[in-house]
Chain A
Amino acid sequence: MRSSSRNMLLIAPGLGWLALFMVIPCVLIFMLSFFERGMYGGVDYNFNLENFVRAMDPIYLGILLDSIYIAGTATIVAILLAYPAAYAISLSPRKKQTTYLFFIMLPFWSNYLIRTYAWIVLLNREGLINNGLESIGVISEPLNLLYNEFAVITGLVYNYLPFVVLAIYSSISKLNPEVREASEDLGAPAWKTFLRVTLPLTAPGVAAGAVFVFVLSIGNFITPDLLGGGRLQMVGNLIYDQFLSARDWPFGATLSFILIGIMMMLLFAQAVIVNRGQIEKHEAKEEDVSSMNFSRQSLNEKEKSYA
C-alpha cells in the first residue's frame, strides 16, 4: 500500500539512527560482557562467564546491595514527599493545577550537576545549614552533613521528586471522585477510604514514579560521586571506574548488563501493576500487559507537564 510505504519512509531515518547509535552499541555491551580484559587493557575475545561470576564476589555484591539500599530509600522518601503534594495539587482549582505542576517540573529540566552542586553549598561544614544552626545556638560544632549516605539520598530525592509528583498526580487526577464518595456514603472513615480505595486505584502512578526514581538512582554516578565524596560507591561509579580507571571494559559491560536486567524486571513488575489497576477500573480491554503501558503512561505524564 502506498501510504504504508510512505510511513516506513518517514520512520526509517529516525529508527535507523536509534538502531545504529543505541541498539547496536547496547548489543555490543551485551557481547562484551562475555569476554575478558586483555593483557594491556584491551579486550580478549574469548567467550566465558567469568565476569558474571566475578560480579557475585562479595565486594561487588556489597556495592550492588548498597546501591539497592540507597536507591530504595530514596524511592520511599520521594514517594512519601510526592504523594501528599500530588494530592494537594489535584484538590486545587482546575485552572491552577497546570501552573502548580509546571513549577514542580521546572527544576527537573535544569542542569543536574548544578542541582546537585547546590546541595554541596547547603550541606558543607561552612554551608548555610550548619551556619544557620550554629548562629541560633542549636549546635556548637558543624555537623557532617556532606559526603555520606544522607547527602546522597537527599540529592537523589531532590533531583527526581518532580517526576514522581507528576506520575502520582496523573493517577490521582484520573480518579473518579464518585468512587471515593461512595465509600464515604457507605460509612467508611476518611482514612479507610484512602487506604482501601484511593491508594489502590492510584497504585499505577506510584509504581511509575517508584520505578523511575529507583532505576535512575541505582545507575547514578554523579550524585554518589559529588555528594558521597568518593567514599560511597554505587554501581554507576563502579562501571565508571571499570571504563576509565581500571580499563576492564568487559567487566564494566557485565555490570551495565546487570543494571539493565534489574531495570527490565522493574519495568515488567510495573507494567503488571499498571495493568491490574486498569482491570480494577474496568478499562482492561484497552491495553495489554507489556512494557508499553509504562511508555504510554509516561508519555502522557510528560505531555501533562506541558499541557
Chain B
Amino acid sequence: MPSFSLSNLYLNSHLKVVYFFLYMPIIVLMVLSFNKAGLPTVWSGFSVEWYGKLLDNESILNAAWNTLIVAVISTILSSILGTLLALGIERMKVNSGLDALLFAPMIIPDIVLAIALLSFFTMLDFTLGLHSIVLSHVVFNIAFVCAVVRTRLKNFDYSVIEASEDLGAGSFTTFRRVTLPIIFPGVLAGSLLAFTLSVDEFIIAFFTAGAGSSSTTLPMQIYSMIRFGVTPEINAMATIVMLVSFTMVFLSQRINKGITQ
C-alpha cells in the first residue's frame, strides 16, 4: 500500500529530526569547547586550553568539591531510606494516598519546594549551608530511589524469604544474605540516578545554600557564569558535566538491565 510506506517514510524522518533537535545543541557545545579562539561561537582551530583554565579556577574547583560532598551524602541517605520505603510499600496493600505522597517530590515545581524549604529552615532559625542542601536533596532523591527499587521488587519472589526464615535465619540475616543481594542492582541503579539528579540540581540548592560563597555548588557556579555571558570555559565545563551525567545514566541503565536478563 503506497500510503502506508509514505506515512512510514514521514514517521521515520520525523524521528530523525527529533534526534537531531535533541542532540545538535549538545554536540555543538562539546565541539566548541575545543575551540581555540576566545570567541566561543566561531571555529578557529583545535585546543584544550579551556580545560586547562578550568583546573586553575579556584572557585570552580571549590564548587565542584561542594557538589560532590552534597551528592555523595544525599545519595547515601536517600538510597537507604528509599530502599526501606520500597521494601515496606511493596508488601503493603495499594494505598493511593501513599503513592501520591511518593510521587509529589517528582512533580512539584522546584521553585515551590525551594521556597517552602527556605521558609521552613528560616522559621526554625536553622543555619543554612551544605548540610541544608543535603537535607533538601534527599527529599526528591528518596522518591526516585524508591521508584526504581519498587520496579525491581515487582518480580521479587517472596518465598525465598520464607525459606530463609524457615531455615532459622533471623530478619537481619535474611535481609543481608537474601533480600539485599537480590535487589542490590536496583538499589545501585537508583543511587546512580539520585547522584546524577543531586549533581545537576540548581534551584533548591540555590535557595537552601544560604548567603556566602562557601556553599556554592557547581550548578550555582554555572548559573552565575552563564548570566555573565557565553565563554569557552563554560563550554568546557558543560562538556565535562554532561559526560559525567551520561556515564552515570548509562551505567544505571546497564546495571538495571543486567538483572532482568
Contact = CB atoms under 8 A, between A and B. Distances in A.
Interface stretch (A83-91, A198-206, A272-280): A83-91
B106 interface: yes
B252 interface: yes
A interface, by DSSP: helix, strand, loop or mixed? helix
Interface in A254-295: 256, 259-260, 263, 267, 288, 290-292, 294-295
Contacts of A18: 101-102, 104-105, 139, 142-143
A249 B135 contact: no
A226 B226 contact: yes
Contacts of A133: none
B91 A121 contact: no
A222 B227 CA distance: 11
A103 B19 contact: yes
A49 B4 CA distance: 60
B64 interface: no
A243 B39 CA distance: 36
Given A113-B202, A113-B226, A292 B100 contact: yes
A109 B26 contact: no
Given A84-B10, A295-B102, A21 B135 contact: yes
Given A7-B92, A113-B202, A113-B226, A243 B245 contact: no
Given A109-B245, A219-B112, A260-B112, A126 B151 contact: no
The size bracket of the interface on B is 35 or more
A11 B92 CA distance: 10
The size bracket of the interface on A is 35 or more
B188 interface: no
Given A89-B15, A111-B200, A28 B123 contact: yes
Interface in A94-133: 100, 102-104, 106-107, 109-115, 117-122, 124, 126-128, 131
Contacts of A91: 8, 11
B187 to A, nearest CB: 13
A38 interface: no
Interface string A219-262: 11110001000000000100110010000010011001001100
Contacts of B219: 111, 113
B41 to A, nearest CB: 5
A10 interface: yes
A119 B25 contact: yes
Contact of A28 (B15, B120, B199): B120
Given A7-B91, A120-B226, A306-B257, A127 B41 contact: yes
27 contacts: A10-B87, A11-B84, A11-B92, A13-B85, A25-B119, A28-B120, A28-B123, A82-B18, A84-B10, A84-B11, A88-B14, A91-B11, A109-B193, A109-B248, A111-B219, A112-B200, A114-B238, A118-B26, A122-B28, A124-B41, A131-B41, A218-B109, A221-B110, A249-B115, A291-B103, A294-B103, A295-B102
Interface of A: 3-4, 6-11, 13-15, 17-18, 21-26, 28-29, 32, 81-82, 84-85, 87-89, 91, 100, 102-104, 106-107, 109-115, 117-122, 124, 126-128, 131, 158, 161-162, 165, 190, 212, 215-216, 218-222, 226, 236, 239-240, 243, 249, 252-253, 256, 259-260, 263, 267, 288, 290-292, 294-296, 298-299, 302-303, 306-307
Given A113-B202, A121-B25, A215-B109, 15 more contacts: A3-B91, A15-B98, A15-B101, A25-B119, A109-B193, A115-B26, A119-B25, A126-B39, A161-B18, A222-B223, A249-B115, A252-B115, A292-B96, A296-B99, A302-B147
